[in-house]
Chain A
Amino acid sequence: MFTPNPSSPEGTRRSHAMEAYSAVLNSRTGLQIIDFDPANQSNIDFVTGRGHRLYTEDFLLSVESWFTPAELEARQIPAARIDGFFRESLNFPDHAAGGAMVWDCLQFLPAPLLQPVLDRLFRILEPDAALLALFLPERAPAAASPSLCRIVDDRTLLLRPRPFRRNVLPLNNRTIERLFQRFRSIRFFLTKDNFRDILVRR
């Protein structure tokens, strides 16, 4: 059973993107924050302890529960199916969310879903909202385990691999910039082991 232990150095790493994201959370109260990871005590305490409301959903699980295996393998997914998915997940009015923590989920989505999810996030995030995302190194393997991302403190994350592997979308920096081109700004933070943490402002 995965039990986060903030006092243990194993799996913890400093994240400058998390530090910048925390600064945004600490500067305001009453935001609606979206968390793409499975609900966990650490993230609940961190966000609600700063006076915000947290919507949490295991997004990768939601995708795999809604779409059929054939759809997940296909090059295209019918728009009606995608719209149906967004009525069940990320069902927020426009500009309703003040922040999002998508962690490394974007890189493990099926390719036809990546842009629709980003477009959806753009719609539901309010202007100037902050979005935190993690990407594997550019030379990541074709398949890997997504991470469970627990917030330890303002600048530290605890990452543990999930007990399954998924295909990794190969995304270089230029591609990531293009994906977020509708957003106001994007900052890259390169870690020692070449992971790419980004902070995006809507």
Chain B
Amino acid sequence: MTMWNRNKKEEELPARPAPVNPAPAEHSREGIPMTTYPTTRQEPTVRITAVIGKNIMLTGNLGGKEDMLIDGRLEGQAELPDNRLTIGATGNIQGTLRAKEVIVYGNVQGNIEAADRIEIKRGAKVIGDLRSSRIVMEDESYFKGNVDTLKQEAPKPEPPKPQPRPQAAPAQQTASAAASEAQASLLPGAEAKR
């Protein structure tokens, strides 16, 4: 069942227009990774994310095909195989999480599996096993459990393409055909052409 809850504050705030000539200070922010924690301001580049607010408590299984931010409490399982799942600072999970990417700012008691990466942020608390291609553990986070890295499968080599037969030029073909005929005429039993 897909759960979706839009944060009304995001609708009320006007979108900030993109600057035409960015100030030099903004250039200095290039190369610094942007936080993945969604802000309440409507940035032009923000990812559309379903939000479970901090006063929401869910029991059961969550699934879907869009990014999700959980700021509330979940007892159960969340599964977003193609999307990012973020556990906010007030998020509290008792159960397993499975997504393309999982980023934890809050509390998780349960196993986490992500195809691409898992990030345990400073201040987060995770008890359970982690399984992903890439695991990022910030200092001053708390973690207790197993860490398992998934080995990415090497791309299978493509089967060799069948080589086309080389086509000889017409003059050459005539010469070779004549040579073949001449040869054939020398063979015993062959009738000579006149």
Interface, chain A (partner B; CB < 8 A): 1-4, 32, 38-41, 44, 47-49, 53-58, 62
Residue pair A39, B143 in contact (C-beta under 8 Å): yes
Chain B nearest CB from A101 CB (Å) reads: 14
Find chain B residues with CB under 8 A from A62 CB: 144
Residue pair B144, A48 in contact (C-beta under 8 Å): no
Output the nearest chain B residue to A89 by Cβ-Cβ distance.
Answer: B144
B140 within 8 Å of A by Cβ?
Answer: yes
Give the contacts of B101-149 with A (CB-CB under 8 A).
120, 122, 135-149
Find chain A residues with CB under 8 A from B139 CB: 1-4, 40
Output the nearest chain B residue to A53 by Cβ-Cβ distance.
Answer: B148
Give the contacts of B39-71 with A (CB-CB under 8 A).
none
Interface, chain B (partner A; CB < 8 A): 120, 122, 135-149
Find chain A residues with CB under 8 A from B138 CB: 41
Residue pair A56, B148 in contact (C-beta under 8 Å): no
A55 to B146, CA, bound (A): 4
Give the residue of A3, A40, A49 whose beta carbon is less than 8 angstroms from that of B137: A40
Residue pair B135, A44 in contact (C-beta under 8 Å): yes
Chain B nearest CB from A73 CB (Å) reads: 25
| Closest 3 pairs between A and B when the two form their complex, measured CB to CB | A39-B143, A48-B149, A57-B144
A38 to B140, CA, bound (A): 9
Question: Do most interface residues of chain B lie in helix, strand or loop, or is the interface mixed?
Answer: strand
Residue pair A56, B135 in contact (C-beta under 8 Å): no
Residue pair A54, B147 in contact (C-beta under 8 Å): yes
Q: A39-B137, A53-B148 are in contact. List 16 more A-B contacts (CB 8 A).
A: A1-B122, A38-B142, A38-B143, A39-B141, A39-B143, A39-B144, A39-B147, A47-B147, A48-B149, A53-B146, A53-B147, A55-B146, A55-B147, A56-B144, A56-B147, A58-B142
Find chain A residues with CB under 8 A from B122 CB: 1
Find chain A residues with CB under 8 A from B145 CB: 55-57
Chain A nearest CB from B139 CB (Å) reads: 6
Find chain A residues with CB under 8 A from B147 CB: 39, 44, 47-48, 53-56
Find chain B residues with CB under 8 A from A40 CB: 137, 139
Output the nearest chain B residue to A47 by Cβ-Cβ distance.
Answer: B147
Give the residue of B120, B137, B140 whose beta carbon is less than 8 angstroms from that of A1: B140
Output the nearest chain A residue to B122 by Cβ-Cβ distance.
Answer: A1
* 6 A-B contact pairs sorted by A residue (CB < 8 Å): A38-B142, A39-B144, A53-B147, A55-B145, A56-B145, A56-B147
A53 to B149, CA, bound (A): 8
Residue pair A44, B140 in contact (C-beta under 8 Å): no
Find chain B residues with CB under 8 A from A58 CB: 142, 144
Chain A nearest CB from B121 CB (Å) reads: 12
Chain B nearest CB from A51 CB (Å) reads: 8
A62 to B142, CA, bound (A): 11
Find chain B residues with CB under 8 A from A39 CB: 120, 137, 141-144, 147
A38 to B120, CA, bound (A): 13
Find chain B residues with CB under 8 A from A41 CB: 136-138
